[in-house]
Structure 1
Amino acid sequence: MESSRPEDTPRTYHPAFASPEANVVLRSAEGTLYRVPSFVLVNTTEFFRNGISPHATGTAGNDVLIPVNEKDAILERLLRMLCGLSTSRWQGYDEVEGVLKLAEEWNTPGPLAAIRAAITTPLFLASPLRLFAVATHFGWEEEAKLASRYTLALSLYDEEHQELLERLPSKDVLALLGLHRKRRDEFKRLLDTETVFDAGNSDPRFCRECGERLDNHTWRELKIRMFMEMDRRPLGDIVGGLDMEEWPEAQACWNAKCGKETCGKPNYDRLVMLQGIQGCIAKLSDSL
């Protein structure tokens, strides 16, 4: 641990960390000084435990000065958490990741636990891939599981996610891709079963009204479109919902009728088919 004595130059102390009774002075990368009692650093961080005596003197001109290569926003936030001072609301991932990096470097269990408790608020759930990256890095299983569920609303193959995915260990990327692929493939398997969709998957199938053989190509085309949508957005909230009603494939399927001129009975009961689709989605695995 690099330390020195404060130089005989004007000092700018952070107003919340300026008590002359605090005997350790931390200097941020921006030059701001923070007075902190040595016993706080020794008892809350493993990093300082063997580097500072809890009985170090704190007389003027005899404090320990320790440069910290962090900006004020990061250093102040972590020191406030260590000292039990009030903190403002988190502003986003850039802030919390910076504090997490320093907290991990210093090995500070208290701040890490506090951040873990806050990391699943709506602010952070709005960026589930970043939450997944943080949670897997620290081995926070419940948070990683929750983040994986929220990633189902994303298309992981979109270019906008590439940089973040490249930062993840390959095992975590593969696990996440596996969840998305498993959900898509399981949905396709359920769509192809005759027990749920006998009206579309039975071959041959005949009109219950007149006995004419029916053509199920519109259902097959709708299944392809649903599979593609689940591949793009495995959450499946569009499939089986109101937005799907605008698809040409859905309209063609629901409008399909028996080809016999004197019959014209609809090939499918739209409501029954939609209930079956939604039931399939409800059965899918939704997290790691």
Structure 2
Amino acid sequence: MATPENSDPTYHASYAFPDGDLVLQSKEGTLFRVHSLVMKLASQEPFETMLELGSKDGQENGDDARIPMFESDEVLLAMLNIIYPNGDMGQHPSSLGFAKQLLAAGDKFHMNKVVNMPACSYCFDVYAIACQYDWEEVANEATFAVLACDKKTWRTRGRSLEKESFDKLLDLHAQRKTAMKEALGFGGHYPVMWTRIKNKVHANCHKHWGPKTNRWTGWELLTLHVLLQMEMVSFGGKIRDRDFMDKDDLWSYLIEDECHECGKAEIFDKYNLHVEVIRVLNSVPKTV
């Protein structure tokens, strides 16, 4: 991978790779020449679709693939700094609002490395101050970023919080796991919708599906995997990875589960099931 050249003023100085084959354009119009391979390795399907569209436009115009982004210069630069091997994201985000924008961008493009960035741990400090002065709105905003921190960060940074403030975070974490478990049991306030996850083969199967009517070994394993990942990162962590359904042979167990109505296997649509799990994950409580 070549060293960036800073001679072209139309590109951001840190991301003007001469061998880059993809150009990202920020909301302000700044251009970032990057490598599509790096973006593909870091992102999931939403970004891959944009890459295909950008490549098509580039071929028609005889230029490099160009993708217009809705993110600002600051957010786009931070995102690239995180996903590039030689990127520098050692500093804390400049503000809570910026941290939220960066997390939103990471979630939008399914970039797990961005969503779980260590720099977001500074939001524990913001949360502590907000609790001290009863700034409820700020505390809730900080909580959103805190949920993206891993268990190790909770242990180390949580020590700096007042017991009452930290207990609120622990209670929220427990509520999220309980709500997710209920949802995967087709109950609670955010139930998994059978119509969204079933395979086309079972289009005419309409009975209620869940542990009460049928024992699904694969489904129980899915529930266990989801809850274990939430225990590590409350925001979801690896659950949001595109290959989550394939980890630890999870999908091989799920396709063996049989329909309670027709008796056929392959009940679930793999892609739609993953999308539905993430939908529920995004629906469970996020604020203290």
TM-score scaled to structure 1, two decimals?
0.47
Radius of gyration: which is bigger? 1
